[in-house]
Amino acid sequence: MKKTILPAVSLFFILLSIAGGALAQTELLFGQNHFYTVLFRGNGEAIVYAKLAITNPDEKPLTEFSFEVPKVTPTEIVMYQMKFPQECVKYNYNDSVRPCLEYRDPDYAQQYYYYGYSNGQAEYQKIQYTKSGNLYRFILPTPVEPYASTAIIVAYAAKGYVSERAGLYTFNFETLKVPSRIQEIRVAVDVDSDLLLKGKRASVSYNSLGISSERAAAPQSISSRDLDKVVGSIGSYGPIVKEAKNLAPNESFIVKGEYATNWFRLYLGSILLTIFIVIGIFAGIYFLVKFLKKRGGQGDKLGNETNQQTPPQMPQGIINILNLTNAWVSLLSVVSVIGLTYLLNFLGESDLLRFVNFDPVFSVVGVIAVILLYVLIIFGPAVGVATKHGWKSFISILIAEFLWFMVFLIIYLVLFQSGLTTTIFHRGPAVLETTGR
């Protein structure tokens, strides 16, 4: 008996592993595509819209699906299964009754389908789910045939992604976890229109994208061009969009960032760090000049003792460039250029000049005045110092200005322009399941 059962059990596990390996290999070609739009509000709440485009890689119809919402517990959640009409790819224009000769299944991972193609014919079937902890399970209203596709639309509100400290909001958003491979995942992040997102200014309000309470309480199946546009916008638009590819089963994509109610609070840490960097540069210049002067003095002394005409070890040009006065003057010039640029940008984006009649003459005079102002700010301080210390100081200040511009450009790209950080995160063994019947 033992001799019969043992080979049978071994054969069963071998076949199971082969089937699992075949399914995993199939998922490499038929992985899911996930798209998110996350809107953060001033009260720390996140409004999340997700579209999960899934393909059935099995040879049996896909009837059940599940996913996990990591880290948070949604306070409101609504789900729909999306069904597109088939797309006609071959026409017979001579047949007015049946003009389409060949159809193909729609690609739910493509965004362009949502605008105009379905013409409001896309059907949204409401999903009834069961919840166990953070795990959501449900039966698909329409089973997915082998190697066919569908899309699951999920919308929910949740707190727990955001922490607040003295007016600065730090968010740590983690995408849904599924037990299948994800070929592509895209997350678009935005905030309320009265907030500022680090790395980019917000462009839309959270009310411009959403499924209203009326729609959430709608019948079990609905069609709407407005809803098509909402779904088509998921993951497509936002001040900042982050992407990842080829996530393993049960991996999630983490997007981190910061936002605040005003620019100063959002970049306070970067501003303080910039000040420390500038102070460090001046300290480095001071000690370097002191060190080079000391070495130069020792060289002169040694040359006199040996009756040799040995020049100082530090050229005078280096002293001029590293002069603290030149460094201060050039820094003031660069800061003035940056301030003028921000002022002009602010005036251009604000409504302060909306009553001004910009005729051609006024526009030309204004452009010339701005150019002259930039020239004065860049070359004026250098000319003023050169009148007392010579033309070498003029060249030194211009060189120092260029170096300061490079320093501030690097600081801007690293501290002020970078918005979000992303991480691919894996946690524990698989606890989700996607089955076919």
Q: What is the pLDDT along the chain (437 residues), one digit of tens a residue?
A: 555 555 554 554 454 444 444 444 455 666 799 999 999 998 899 999 999 999 888 889 999 999 999 989 898 899 999 887 777 767 777 776 677 777 777 777 766 555 444 555 678 889 999 999 889 999 999 998 888 889 999 999 999 999 988 889 999 999 999 998 999 999 999 998 888 888 765 444 444 445 444 444 445 666 667 777 788 888 877 788 899 888 889 899 999 999 998 888 888 888 899 999 999 988 888 888 788 777 766 555 555 554 444 444 445 555 555 677 888 889 999 999 999 988 888 777 766 666 666 667 777 888 898 899 999 999 988 888 888 877 888 888 898 899 999 999 998 888 877 666 656 555 543 333 333 43
CA dihedral (142, 143, 147, 152) in degrees, to 10, reads 50
For the record, the structure tokens of 287 come out as: 């000690």
Domains assigned to the chain: 26-84+110-261 (2.60.40), 268-417 (no CATH)
Distance set, CA 328 to CA 133, 279, 282, 333, 341 (Å): 61, 11, 9, 9, 20
Distance CA 324, CA 334 (A): 15
SS3 409: helix
Per-residue HEC secondary structure of 369-387 comes to HHHHHHHHHHHHHHHHHHH
Per-residue HEC secondary structure of 123-150 comes to EEEECCEEEECCEEEEEEEEEECCCCEE
Handedness of CA 229, 231, 237, 243 (dihedral sign): negative
CB atoms within 10 A of CB 391: 10
> In this structure, are residues 282 and 327 in contact, taking their beta carbons and an 8 Å threshold?
yes
Distance CA 46, CA 159 (A): 6
Termini Cα distance of the chain = 33
Distance CA 331, CA 401 (A): 7
- Residue 216, Cβ density class (10 Å: 0-12 exposed, 13-18 middle, ≥19 buried): middle
For the record, the structure tokens of 325 come out as: 């006065």
Distance CA 187, CA 142 (A): 27
SS3 354: coil
Tens digit of pLDDT for each residue in 58-117?
A: 889 999 999 999 989 898 899 999 887 777 767 777 776 677 777 777 777 766 555 444
State the alpha helices, DSSP H only, in 267-359.
268-305, 316-321, 324-349
Distance CA 174, CA 77 (A): 16
Q: DSSP letters along 141-195, please?
A: EEEEPTT-EEEEEEEEEEESSEEEETTEEEEEEE--B-SS-EEEEEEEEEE-TTS
The secondary structure of the chain in percent helix, strand, coil, rounded to multiples of 5, reads 40, 30, 30
> Which residue carries 């043992």 as its tokens?
6
> In this structure, are residues 111 and 151 in contact, taking their beta carbons and an 8 Å threshold?
no
Q: DSSP letters along 92-112, please?
A: -TT-SSS-EEEEE---TT-SG
Distance CA 70, CA 76 (A): 15
For the record, the structure tokens of 30 come out as: 């038929």
Tens digit of pLDDT for each residue in 34-56?
A: 999 999 998 899 999 999 999 88
Going across the sheet that includes 45-55, the strands are 221-222, 123-126, 76-83, 149-159, 45-55, 32-40, 182-191, 240-247
C-alpha closest to that of 135 among 62, 56, 45, 73? 73
> In this structure, are residues 113 and 107 in contact, taking their beta carbons and an 8 Å threshold?
yes
> In this structure, are residues 234 and 411 in contact, taking their beta carbons and an 8 Å threshold?
no
Distance set, CA 352 to CA 196, 355, 367 (Å): 21, 7, 18
Distance CA 58, CA 26 (A): 8
Specify the pairing of strand 45-55 against strand 149-159.
Answer: antiparallel
